[in-house]
Amino acid sequence: MFESLTDKLQQVFRRLTSKGRLSERDVEEACRELRLVLLEADVNYKVVKDFVARIKERAVGQEVMQSLTPGQQVVKIVNEEMVALLGGEEVSIAFASKPPTTIMLAGLQGSGKTTTAGKLGNLFRGQGHRPLLVATDIYRPAAIRQLEVVGEQLELPVFPASTEQKPVAIARESLKQAAKDGQDLVILDTAGRLHIDQEMMAELVKMKQAISPQEILLVLDAMTGQDAVNSATEFDQALGITGFILAKLDGDARGGAALSVRAVTGKPIKFVGVGEKLDALEAFHPDRMASRILGMGDVLSLIEKAEATFDEEQTEELERKLRRDEFGLDDFLEQIQQVTKLGPLDQLLDMIPGLGALKKKGPVEVDPARLAQMEAIIKSMTKEERRHPGMIDGSRKRRIARGSGTRVQMVNQLLSQFKQMKAMFAQLTGMERSGGKMPDFPFPIQR
């Protein structure tokens, strides 16, 4: 996500922070570089112009110039202005005073509306809501079936629509069905086109008038950059949208749509798609996104992911085992399997300040084959060996390697990774001091 943009911004910041003092000329040079970086990222020209002007106006002030760390002060200003550019504060969904709440998804064909409808339903179910998915696209072949498949995968109810019905009639009937069945959230997947046309807009306007949705969210393909922003403007003028969902943000190395759409339309980004899996949708936090774009990590989102993935009792049990030095190889395997549930390792590294640079050494991802090998090695050990890996000598290693169909070298590598993970967890729980050095990630990664 934003890899190209982040790398270039980091280069600008390094040049700034390497100087003990900053002159007005230094600030102007940095602003010129910022302007070029943002334009290359396909950010709207007017947005770039205004953004850089605000930074320059604040950075040339006496407070920055006389600061002991002027470079850091400029970086701080860039961060604050980027947060403002992205919307300042998170804007949540407006729920109906009397259920069901209706969310109407609009967008061009191929933007990811259908998958996003499922992701949105899955996200809100996790928050205690009872969503109903509704397909109103009667034109695209198998569009209704596509949403049904998504619903089946997520075990979410899908309204039984038919191509024989009119889209507005489907929408009306689905609201009645939701109220009858006690579903408090209706998510409508509407028809798209390859390009904006009057017929599509007229149908969307008619549906809006018929059902008065609480939210009209435009799903944009983040990778299309300025094209997405142009579409956003046209949809908003015709339909009066309430916000955006940026789909495919994980594949967007430049960031043009994310950094432009709020400033151009004045409407907030409410959600972002960060992967292909049906749980890869997040609420949009401007401050966290700015931090990711500038390469400063996003620890809060990482903590929220961990809290949603790790069982509280399991976490307490892990702490207890670490305190009593009872952390064994069974626990090691369980923790690795849990970490892989958090999402792609590349994205996790981006959330930890300073660790995104590890990706420059090559792709970082969990190797399923290596994970299977580790599991085979551990299961070839006795219970006593798993609890007390220190007792595994040369002859035991040879026996374990034969039993798991691997080599002694792989057994040694696993035992080394076990020690690293044990040390890392001990650091994270505050039970061990490491002199400020973060241990290597003990995951079965491939480069």
CA dihedral 150, 151, 156, 159 (to 10 degrees): 140
Residue 210 main-chain phi, psi, to 5 deg: -75, -35
Of the three residues 296, 320, 337, the one that is the final residue of a domain is 296
CA within 13 Å, CB half, 275: 14
100: cis peptide before it, omega within 30°? Answer: yes
Instruction: Say if residue 131 is in the same domain as residue 270.
Output: yes
11 residue type, one letter: Q
Instruction: Say if residue 427 is in the same domain as residue 292.
Output: no
Return d(Cα 376, Cα 113) in angstroms, integer.
41
pLDDT average, residue stretch 125-129: 93
Instruction: Say if residue 116 is in the same domain as residue 170.
Output: yes
Query: Count of residues for the chain?
Result: 447
More reliable by pLDDT, 232 or 426:
232
Q: What is the pLDDT of residues 384-414, one digit of tens each?
A: 998 888 899 999 999 999 999 999 999 998 8
User: What single string gives the DSSP state of each residue in 288-354?
Assistant: HHHHHHTT---HHHHHHHHHHHS-HHHHHHHHHHHHTT---HHHHHHHHHHHHTT--HHHHHHHSTT
Q: What is the pLDDT of residues 294-308, one digit of tens each?
A: 877 544 555 555 555
Confidence grade of residue 349 (pLDDT, cut at 50, 70, 90):
low
Instruction: Say if residue 258 is in the same domain as residue 353.
Output: no
Residue 91 falls inside a structural domain: no
The two structure tokens encoding residue 100: 């069901």
Residue 376 falls inside a structural domain: yes
Please state which of the ranges 27-41, 68-82, 244-258, 315-329 shows the lowest mean pLDDT. 315-329
Give the ranges where 41-131 is alpha helix by DSSP (H). Answer: 45-59, 62-65, 70-85, 113-125
Q: What is the pLDDT of residues 365-378, one digit of tens each?
A: 556 677 788 889 99
**Would you state the pLDDT for residue 61?**
72
Instruction: Say if residue 167 is in the same domain as residue 263.
Output: yes
Residue 144 is part of which domain span?
101-296
pLDDT at 259 over 70: yes
Instruction: Say if residue 257 is in the same domain as residue 314.
Output: no
Residue 93 falls inside a structural domain: no
pLDDT average, residue stretch 237-243: 93
Domain count, the chain: 3
Instruction: Say if residue 398 is in the same domain as residue 307.
Output: yes
CA dihedral 118, 113, 123, 188 (to 10 degrees): -70
Contacts of 368 (CB under 8 A, 6+ apart): none
Of the three residues 296, 318, 340, the one that is the final residue of a domain is 296
Residue 24 falls inside a structural domain: yes
CA-based end-to-end distance of the chain: 19
Instruction: Say if residue 169 is in the same domain as residue 288.
Output: yes
111 residue type, one letter: S
Contacts of 75 (CB under 8 A, 6+ apart): 13, 16, 17, 294
161 and 136 Cβ atoms separated by less than 8 Å: yes
Residue 18 falls inside a structural domain: yes
CATH of the domain at 414: 1.10.260.30
Instruction: Say if residue 151 is in the same domain as residue 286.
Output: yes
144 and 137 Cβ atoms separated by less than 8 Å: yes
Instruction: Say if residue 379 is in the same domain as residue 284.
Output: no
150 and 113 Cβ atoms separated by less than 8 Å: no
Q: What is the pLDDT of residues 174-195, one digit of tens each?
A: 999 999 999 999 999 999 888 8
Instruction: Say if residue 105 is in the same domain as residue 227.
Output: yes
Biggest distance spanned by C-alpha atoms of the chain: 77
Return d(Cα 34, Cα 8) in angstroms, integer.
9
Residue 281: enclosing H or E segment and its boundaries? strand 281-283
Residue 446 main-chain phi, psi, to 5 deg: -125, 145
81 and 54 Cβ atoms separated by less than 8 Å: yes
pLDDT average, residue stretch 119-146: 93
Instruction: Say if residue 252 is in the same domain as residue 324.
Output: no
The SS3 assignment for 115 reads helix
CATH of the domain at 201: 3.40.50.300
